[in-house]
Amino acid sequence: MSKVLPTSLKPAVFRAASVLPAVVAALALAMPSEAAAYSKKVENACRADYKTHCPAYKEGSSALRNCMSLAGRRGNLSKRCVNALTDAGLVPRKYRKR
């Protein structure tokens, strides 16, 4: 038997459901983890990309990760950087540049 929410509660439930992914993402970024630390290989391979696309952001910050992620989604990261990220398992292999 399925439960039906009263009409007065439906907007609140939908608002909560739409906010949940953003809250989870914010908590994940705020929590320190070993996965957030990049290897020296990745740092060296992506150094020029960092200086080109995200020089205003502090190294190791979540803002820098967001900036580099945006640069990657736009296809602006170098082949060397993307390949180092895929080798480290941080980016799916389908994004590897040839």
Each domain of the chain, given as residue ranges in start order, spans: 38-98
Angle CA 6–12–28, to nearest 5: 140
Determine contact, residues 88/42, Cβ cutoff 8 Å.
yes
From first to last of its 98 residues, what are the pLDDT tens digits of the chain? 555 656 665 554 444 444 445 443 443 443 344 445 678 999 999 999 999 999 999 988 999 999 999 999 999 999 999 999 999 998 888 888 77
CA dist 64 and 20 (Å) reads 23
What is the Cα Rg of the chain in Å? Answer: 19
Query: What is this structure's pTM?
Result: 0.59
Angle CA 58–64–68, to nearest 5: 145
Closest Cα partner for 48 from 71, 21, 14?
A: 71
